[in-house]
Chain A
Amino acid sequence: MMTYIDYKTLLPRTVIGVLIGLFVIIPVFTTSVITLSILISSGIWAIAVMGFVLILRTGQFSMGQAAFMALGGYASAILTVNLRMPFWPSFLLAGVISGIIALIIGLVVLRVGGIYFSIITLAFGEIVRILAQYMEGITRGVRGIIPPPPPTISLAGLEINFAAGNPVPYYYFMVLLVAIASLVFWQIGRSRLGGTFASLALNQVLAEHQGIHLMKYRVIAFTVAGVFTGFAGAYYTNFLSIITPLMFGLWQSIQIMMMSIVGGVSSIVGGALIGATVLYTLGRYLSLLPIYNIQYLLFGAIVVLVLLFLPKGTGLVDLWGKFWRKVFREPEEYEMPEETEMAVE
Chain B
Amino acid sequence: MSLLELNGITKFFGKLAALEEIDLKVDEGEVLGIVGPNGSGKTTLINIISGYYRPTRGTIFFNGKKISGLRPDQIADRGIVRTFQSNVLFEGATVLESMLVGSFLQYKTKDWQSFFETKAYKDDHERVVGRVIELLKTFDIFNDIFLPATGLSHGYQRMLGITMALIANPKVLLLDEPTTGMNHEEAMFVVENIKKISEQGITVLVIEHNMKVILNIATRVVVLNFANKIADGKPEEVMNKQEVIEAYLGTETI
Q: Which A residues lie at the B interface, using CB under 8 A?
A: 1-3, 5, 7, 187-188, 191-193, 195-196, 198-199, 202-203, 205-214, 334-337, 339-340, 343-344
Contact = CB atoms under 8 A, between A and B. Distances in A.
Interface in B94-127: 94, 97, 100-102, 104-105, 107, 111, 114-115, 117, 121, 125
A213 B82 CA distance: 16
B90 A206 contact: yes
Given A196-B104, A213-B71, A206 B115 contact: no
Given A206-B90, A213-B73, A337-B146, A191 B117 contact: yes
B6 interface: no
Contacts of B164: 206, 210
Interface in B124-175: 125, 143-144, 146-148, 152-153, 156, 164, 168
A304 to B, nearest CB: 24
Given A209-B50, A340-B143, A195 B89 contact: no
Contact of A340 (B77, B105, B107, B146): B146
Nearest to A312: B92
Interface string B163-201: 010001000000000000000000000000000000000
Given A208-B72, A209-B52, A334 B115 contact: no
Nearest to A215: B71
Nearest to A339: B143
Contacts of A199: 90, 101-102, 104
B93 A336 contact: no
B104 A210 contact: yes
Contacts of A336: 146-147
B91 interface: yes
Interface in B76-93: 76-77, 81-82, 84, 88-93
A69 B125 CA distance: 37
B114 A3 contact: no
B82 A209 contact: yes
Contacts of B76: 208-211
Interface residues on B, range: 35 or more
B73 A206 contact: no
Contacts of B102: 199, 206, 210
B83 to A, nearest CB: 9
Contacts of A203: 88-91
Contact of A206 (B77, B89, B111): B89
Best-buried of B71, B84, B146, B156 by chain A (most CB within 10 Å): B146
A207 B164 CA distance: 11
Nearest to A209: B72
A205 B115 contact: no
Contacts of B71: 208, 213
A294 to B, nearest CB: 38
A112 to B, nearest CB: 16
A75 B152 CA distance: 52
A196 B156 CA distance: 24
* Complex A-B, nearest 10 residue pairs according to Cβ-Cβ distance, in ascending order: A343-B143, A211-B105, A192-B114, A202-B90, A211-B76, A208-B72, A199-B101, A191-B114, A195-B101, A210-B102
Contacts of A210: 73, 76, 81, 101-102, 104-105, 164, 168
10 contacts: A1-B92, A5-B93, A192-B125, A199-B101, A205-B88, A208-B76, A210-B105, A211-B73, A340-B144, A343-B144
A207 B101 contact: yes
B16 to A, nearest CB: 22
A1 B104 contact: no
Given A210-B73, A337-B146, 18 more contacts: A3-B92, A3-B97, A5-B93, A188-B115, A191-B114, A193-B111, A196-B111, A198-B93, A203-B88, A205-B52, A206-B102, A208-B72, A211-B73, A213-B73, A334-B146, A340-B144, A340-B147, A344-B152
Contacts of B104: 196, 199, 207, 210-212
Nearest to B125: A192
A207 B147 CA distance: 20
A232 B144 CA distance: 43
Contacts of A205: 52, 72, 88
A334 B82 CA distance: 29
A196 B105 CA distance: 11
A188 B105 CA distance: 19
A340 B140 CA distance: 12
Given A3-B97, A7-B97, A211-B105, A187 B72 contact: no
Contact of A192 (B50, B72, B111): B111
A206 B88 contact: yes
A336 B96 CA distance: 12
A206 B163 CA distance: 13
B76 to A, nearest CB: 4
Contact of B77 (A7, A192, A207, A211): A211
A202 B114 CA distance: 21
B193 to A, nearest CB: 17
A88 B84 CA distance: 53
A205 B53 CA distance: 12
A2 B150 CA distance: 13
